[in-house]
Amino acid sequence: MENMIALTIDGVSVEVPAGTTVLEAARKAGIHIPTLCYLKDINEIGACRMCVVDTGARSLQASCVLPATNGMVVKTNTPAIRKYRKTLLELVLSDHDKKCLTCVRSQNCELQRLCRELGVKDGDAFKGVTNDYEVDDVSPAIVRDNNKCILCRRCVAVCSKVQKVGVIGPVMRGFKTAIESPWGLKLNNMACINCGQCITACPTGALREKDDTAKVWEALADPTKHVVVQPAPAVRAALGEEFGIPMGTSVTGKMATALKRLGFDKVFDTDFGADLTIMEEANELVERLTEGGTLPMITSCSPGWIKFCETYYPDFIPNLSTCKSPHEMVGAMVKSYYADKAEIDPHNIVTVSVMPCTAKKFEAARPELGHNGMADVDIVITTRELARMIKEAGINFNALPDSDFDSLMGESTGAAVIFGATGGVMEAALRTAYETITGETLAKVDFEAVRGTQGIKEATINIAGKDVTVAVCSSTSKAAELLDSVKNGEKNYTFIEVMACPGGCVNGGGQPIVDADTRATVDVRAVRAQALYGEDAEKPLRKSHENGEIKAIYADYLGKPGGHRSHELLHTHYTRREKYTD
């Protein structure tokens, strides 16, 4: 039984386990204490001092790092505390780029919200010298603007602790302190994996995705271009949040309608590409098992993970599946199979992917992902960018009727939609691999052992009398932990799924921003994933090899999984990378 303690906060008695912080105790009592640098379980350092409370000590104390003690009496909202917090905000604003009207985070900025809540009316209360930083926009995925940085270090904590990449950190001291990369290098010259978790952790607009919406608008306005779009599985689980729809609501039908109204010539579905990936990946796994290929085989859907492997664990490159990611497969098929069917010159086709992921922007530019001098995917925009385009076009998203994706590459199964959640690729692959190997129909298609938001999951599946041990991990820090255990001989697996982002694509760096207060009380990963599992359960077909359009593409064009044309269009290779370049 836990050792419980009792304390009083603003006159409210609350009982909590020993070791609980005052901030957590206040939340349990239903009392709101403002925070800025705090990110539950990730950044609990008391740096911003916004969460100070009065315990009768000689000075105000940061509640996020202050242990609650038995009999403690806490005040969170005295005149002195309110003045202290307001002054802190005015000091932050004294060296902050206050171009809020044009900032991508306007109305979804934690600094802006706190200023409004605490009644800060003068952004120039403390005038003086300001720092002027060059905006780092060289990366194809992430833009850093230190003129908007408040030195909360949330991005630093996510990059180092959650992702184990650590390419940014504080440099200099005092007023000159800044969050930078070593040696003053740009992000693009560092071993940044472009995952964008720093963006979703940032409370302001100091970090944002590279905006490619102008390229899409230009393509849509060009009468010589045939523009094809595809949204990823995880996008439908989160896009609605940008329009006030509750988290965890799938908006697949409205999303398809919105894409059509934006003017795309064809609206296909990356879910189709997910089913196609499973056909190729399951075949590759069976070949490695039966012909003595490199094991464990590791999934290749997550570009952040791929770059992490290429940079930090290059010895595992032979273990990576050679399959392209689902949206790259769709792009390749659009510029070959679809172009042939529609009798369109593929050089006049522009392929646009809507992704929950900033790393997909980097991936699309990889020279390995293309054919005949063309990139498979021309433009990648995030879920947030699509939402901005819908708003810019004046489309009332909430009032849209549902519609379907276009045929030829719009059909999908339940196995495809769960790609957006950690464990989904593994589960989809097992559904097809089991039936391929055994020739039997699965009585139960749900492999619940690989579901859930834990960083590492393991399962042993019996297929045709043989035990197959698999592992699933999400976040590159967990990937590092898992790979180290394999390297050291502590673990032995047949198949591993890795997603760069914690919880998988539903929690990708391009998804709608969720503030720190919500993240402290809601498991965003689980809520969004449930929308995908709900779609899976309702699908009439739940295994990739049952997809009618998939069957047709092999019969009419590809031949067979793993065949010559499949390898030419749907598979790739990987490159060992240096940790930094000058």
CA–CA dist 396, 401 (Å, integer): 10
Band of pLDDT at residue 336, cut at 50, 70 and 90? very high
CA–CA dist 95, 147 (Å, integer): 8
Averaged pLDDT, 343-362: 98
Residue with tokens 């609605």: 240
- Give residue-wise pLDDT tens across range 24-64: 999 999 999 999 999 999 999 999 999 999 999 999 999 99
- Give residue-wise pLDDT tens across range 363-397: 999 999 999 999 999 999 999 999 999 999 999 99
Averaged pLDDT, 260-265: 98
- Give residue-wise pLDDT tens across range 172-189: 999 999 999 999 999 999
The residues annotated as belonging to the active site are: 281, 284, 301, 321, 360, 363, 368, 505
Averaged pLDDT, 391-406: 98
The region of weakest confidence among 60-69, 114-123, 217-226 is 114-123
pLDDT given at position 2: 75
Average pLDDT score over the chain? 97
The secondary structure of 229-292, three-state, reads EEECHHHHHCHHHHHCCCCCCCCHHHHHHHHHHCCCCEECCHHHHHHHHHHHHHHHHHHHHHHC
310 versus 466: which is more confidently predicted?
A: 310
First to last CA, the chain: 56
Q: Which amino acid is at 568?
A: E
- Give residue-wise pLDDT tens across range 450-474: 999 999 999 999 988 889 999 999 9
Residue with tokens 């329009």: 243
Averaged pLDDT, 60-78: 98
- pTM of the model as a whole: 0.97
Are 424 and 452 in contact, with CB atoms under 8 Å apart? no
CA–CA dist 406, 396 (Å, integer): 22
Q: Is residue 274 predicted with pLDDT exceeding 60?
A: yes
CA–CA dist 137, 127 (Å, integer): 29
Strands 349-355 and 226-231, by their bridges, are parallel
Dihedral of CA atoms 182, 186, 189, 194 in degrees, nearest 10, equals 100
Q: Is residue 251 predicted with pLDDT exceeding 70?
A: yes
Averaged pLDDT, 225-250: 98
Band of pLDDT at residue 6, cut at 50, 70 and 90? very high
Are 418 and 326 in contact, with CB atoms under 8 Å apart? no
pLDDT given at position 533: 98
pLDDT given at position 145: 98
pLDDT given at position 279: 97
pLDDT given at position 1: 53
Any long-range contacts for 58-64 (C-beta under 8 Å, 24+ apart)? 60/84, 61/22, 63/21, 63/22, 63/23, 63/26, 63/33, 64/21, 64/23, 64/35, 64/38
Q: By percentage, how much of the chain surpasses pLDDT 70?
A: 100
DSSP code, position 335: I
- Give residue-wise pLDDT tens across range 517-556: 999 999 999 999 999 999 999 999 999 999 999 999 999 9
Please report the domains of the chain, with CATH numbers, ordered by start residue: 4-77 (3.10.20.740), 126-208 (3.30.70.20), 214-570 (3.40.50.1780)
- Give residue-wise pLDDT tens across range 482-520: 999 999 999 999 999 999 999 999 999 999 999 999 999
CA–CA dist 134, 19 (Å, integer): 43
pLDDT given at position 500: 98
CA–CA dist 213, 389 (Å, integer): 7
